[in-house]
Amino acid sequence: MSPTTGSDLPLNSGLKDTPSPAIDVLTTRNVSLKHIIIALLLSSLFFLLFCFVVLHGYIAWVLSNPNVAPLYSNPKLSKNLAYEDVHFPAADGSRMMQGWYIPADDSRKTIVFSHGYGANREEPWVPMYDLAHYANGLNYNVLMFDYGFAAQKSKEVATGGKKEAEQLLGAINLAKQRGAEEIVIWGFSMGAGTALQAALSSDDINGMILDSTFLLEPDTMYHNIRQHIDLPRRPSLEIIGLLLPVLNGTSMRQIPYTEVKSKDYPFPTLFIHGTEDEKAPYPIAEKLAENQTNEASGVWIVEGALHEMIFREHPKDYLRKVSEFLSRIQTSKTKK
């Protein structure tokens, strides 16, 4: 038998190449690392989205739950005005309201004060007691009350005027029951916007004085949000719009801001606004005033004045404008 040479041996022995164990481990590690990176990126993205939604939820919650200080005084202590505590139902019967009624001698005229967001019937920065004293001195009965979001007991959420308009209508009903034949609403900020909403369904209002009118609508809401945090208009407004009904039961669509912005009210209305108002830009008041055709209506835009600070900054001019306007209401009623 001839000896076998190396060249006679099969080179592959019929076996396939087997990958190195080191290569398998490396490949597995690469795949695992890729999955981990993707998972981390997705987790980070979902966390950021969650934080974004939570931030908007917090904004919607703050809008619905303003921090309101408790009452610190009363008309007697502040201005030596005789008054009585009053309780009356909102027009829709949804809740009982609390307030103060300051009578004037044998008067058939009543001014109902409509306070702003984040305040109660005292609204000290206006200051409300001074204006109540002035109105009573003009022989007007005065009604001061708290909206539901400012109530000392059974406090509820703020709804941008939806529920508050019914509460203001309840105050108007009380004024009528007390014998008022002339009812003037004196509103501030969101209280002025609420007055405009209430007046859409009331025939009992003879005039309105609207100081620093704030009407809750997408533009003004976003304008105020931007004062505190720089968020994109979209989708921020859409997200907040979805969350508001959950937090306060009110959709933006339920606030008749479009109708208010185009309404020509049948009674005299005086708009007072400052050019440096950062919460409610003054062109809103100018546009609302342009819609009014009642000859006794008017608008006073005060250069450099801030939100609800006009009386403090220009007290004599303010009271003179108000007095002249109230006289025009009397003249308007006489012509009828």
Residues of the domain holding 87: 75-217+255-334
Using CA of residue 318, residue 320, residue 321, residue 325, what is the dihedral sign? positive
Residue 30 inside a domain? The answer is no
The answer to whether residues 56 and 110 belong to one domain is no
The answer to whether residues 60 and 104 belong to one domain is no
User: pLDDT tens for residues 110-143?
Assistant: 999 999 999 999 999 999 999 999 999 999 999 9
Residue 269 inside a domain? The answer is yes
Residue 22 inside a domain? The answer is no
Instruction: Give the per-residue pLDDT at 4.
Output: 45
Residue 1 inside a domain? The answer is no
The answer to whether residues 165 and 241 belong to one domain is no
HEC string for the chain: CCCCCHHHCCCCCCCCCCCCHHHHHHHHHHHHHHHHHHHHHHHHHHHHHHHHHHHHHHHHHHHHCCCCCCCCCCHHHHHCCCCEEEEEECCCCCCEEEEEEECCCCCCEEEEEECCCCCCCCCCCCCHHHHHHHHHHCCCEEEEECCHHHCCCCCCCCCCCHHHHHHHHHHHHHHHHCCCCEEEEEEECHHHHHHHHHHHHCCCCCEEEEECCCCCCHHHHHHHHHCCCCCCHHHHHHHHHHHHHHHHCCCHHHCCHHHHHHCCCCCCEEEEEECCCCCCCCHHHHHHHHCCCCCCCEEEEECCCCCCCHHHHCHHHHHHHHHHHHHHHHHHHHHC
Q: Which amino acid is at 10?
A: P
Residue 301's pLDDT band (boundaries 50, 70, 90)?
very high
User: pLDDT tens for residues 60-116?
Assistant: 888 889 999 999 999 999 999 999 999 999 999 999 999 999 999 999 999 999 999
The answer to whether residues 134 and 247 belong to one domain is no
Overall number of domains in the chain: 2
Residue 297 inside a domain? The answer is yes
- Scan for tokens 């109230």, then name that residue: 326
Query: pTM (2 decimals)?
Result: 0.86
Residue 231's pLDDT band (boundaries 50, 70, 90)?
confident
The answer to whether residues 241 and 263 belong to one domain is no
The answer to whether residues 57 and 85 belong to one domain is no
The answer to whether residues 120 and 198 belong to one domain is yes
More confident residue, 3 or 58: 58
The answer to whether residues 123 and 200 belong to one domain is yes
The answer to whether residues 80 and 153 belong to one domain is yes
Residue 313 inside a domain? The answer is yes
The answer to whether residues 118 and 146 belong to one domain is yes
**Is 70 exceeded by the pLDDT of residue 15?**
no
**2-31 mean pLDDT:** 52
Identify which of 254, 255, 286, 257 has the alpha carbon closest to the alpha carbon of residue 271: 286
Instruction: Give the per-residue pLDDT at 226.
Output: 81
Cβ–Cβ under 8 Å, residues 112 and 168: yes
**205-212 mean pLDDT:** 98
User: pLDDT tens for residues 236-293?
Assistant: 888 888 888 888 888 888 999 999 999 999 999 999 999 999 999 999 999 999 999 9
CATH of the domain at 323: 3.40.50.1820
User: pLDDT tens for residues 146-157?
Assistant: 999 999 888 999
Residue 7's pLDDT band (boundaries 50, 70, 90)?
very low
Instruction: Give the per-residue pLDDT at 327.
Output: 95
The answer to whether residues 209 and 272 belong to one domain is yes
